[in-house]
């Protein structure tokens, strides 16, 4: 799976609250009893994911979790048809649609889906509220890399060159919280995405503008390193 081209399907085994919001699944889980077999199963899958290290087993867990999550949402919707619930669901979907649009702005600035399909995928070297990267985290002979960390957040690393000094430096952008988080993104201008390194930027649109400058060569100070 290409990280930049879809929302995360990874289990929730890290506190999404510490990453800026609660996942949409939390609302639907609250509508079912704690002893419901689906709730028990989704908790079991999250625990397995948190302790698993084998890549093939992780892939299986993610697939099983995605199916179980869909079943939780379906069951919650089937047993709750009142207006209050439907209003809540519509609001959650509005948030998720907005978050998806922000990711697609990043994708477009990088050159579109076809380009992103060929950007190498790395494993995030750390997991924290504020991600930190080094030039050595970008694969050799590449100037751009992408990832999805264990918490399900997407990110991009770019190797840039200072036009005046010729020195190389790093610029990275990442989601502060899962794209599927149930929080109002309109309160902070869509601050799901942040960037750091040579530039500290908040909000996907502003980050996309900076990337477009780099790609077009119009930025006064930086260009994409060879």
Q: Which residue has the tokens 């060159």?
A: 161
Cross-strand pairs, 146:
121, 156
Pairwise CA distance, residues 183 & 192, whole Å: 10
Q: Which domain holds residue 143?
A: 98-224
Which H, E and C letters describe the chain, residue by residue? CCHHHCCCCCCCCCCHHHHCCCEHHHHHHCCCCCCCHHHHHHHHHHHHHHHCCCHHHHHHHHHHHHHHHHHHHHHHHHHCCCHHHHHHHHHHHHHHHHHHHHHHHHHHHHCCHHHHCCCCECCCCCCCCCCCCCHHHCCCCCCEEEEECCCCCEEEEEEEEECCCCCEEEEEEEECCCCCECCCHHHHCCCCEEEEECCCEECHHHHHHHHHHHHHCCCCCEEECC
Cβ pair 25, 34 in contact under 8 A = no
Question: pLDDT tens for residues 34-51?
Answer: 999 999 999 999 999 988
Residues 159, 146: Cα–Cα separation, whole Å: 12
- CB neighbours (10 Å) of residue 156? 24
Residue-level pLDDT, tens digit, the chain, 226 residues: 899 999 888 888 765 545 545 688 989 999 999 999 999 999 999 999 988 889 899 999 999 999 999 999 999 999 999 999 999 999 999 989 999 999 999 999 999 999 999 999 998 877 777 788 999 999 999 999 999 988 889 999 999 999 999 999 999 999 988 888 887 766 655 578 999 999 999 889 999 999 999 999 999 999 999 8
- pLDDT value of residue 187: 62
Per-residue pLDDT, 188: 54
- Does residue 91 lie in a domain region? no
Taking the C-alpha atoms of residue 155 and residue 142, their distance in angstroms, rounded to an integer, is 16
Does a structural domain hold residue 210?
yes
- Does 28 reside within a domain? no
Q: What is the pLDDT of residue 7?
A: 87
Domain count, the chain: 1
8 A C-beta contact, residue 157 and residue 130: no
19 lies in a domain? no
Report if residue 144 sits inside a domain.
yes
What confidence score (pLDDT) does residue 192 get? 84
Q: Is residue 123 part of a domain?
A: yes
44 domain-assigned: no
The answer to the question of residue 174 being in a domain is yes
pTM, two decimals, is: 0.89
């Amino acid at each position: 799976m290409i990280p930049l081209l879809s929302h995360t399907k990874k289990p929730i085994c890290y506190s999404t609250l510490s990453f800026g919001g609660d996942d949409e699944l939390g609302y639907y889980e609250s509508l079912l009893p704690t002893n419901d077999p689906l709730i028990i199963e989704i908790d079991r899958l999250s625990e397995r994911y948190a302790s698993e290290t084998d890549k093939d087993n992780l892939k299986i867990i993610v697939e099983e979790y995605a199916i179980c999550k869909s079943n939780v949402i379906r069951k919650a919707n089937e047993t709750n048809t009142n207006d209050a619930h439907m209003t809540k669901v519509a609001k959650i979907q509005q948030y998720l649609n907005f978050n998806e649009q922000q990711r697609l702005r990043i994708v477009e600035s990088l050159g579109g889906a076809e380009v992103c399909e060929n950007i190498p995928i790395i494993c995030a070297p750390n997991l924290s509220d504020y991600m930190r990267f080094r030039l050595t985290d970008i694969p050799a002979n590449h100037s751009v890399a992408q990832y999805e960390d264990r918490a399900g957040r997407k990110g991009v690393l770019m190797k840039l060159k200072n036009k005046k000094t010729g020195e190389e430096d790093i610029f990275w952008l990442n989601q502060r919280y899962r794209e599927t988080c149930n929080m109002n993104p309109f309160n902070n201008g869509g601050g799901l995405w942040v960037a750091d390194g040579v530039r500290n930027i908040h909000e996907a649109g502003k980050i996309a503008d900076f990337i477009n400058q780099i790609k077009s060569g119009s930025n006064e100070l930086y260009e994409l390193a060879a």
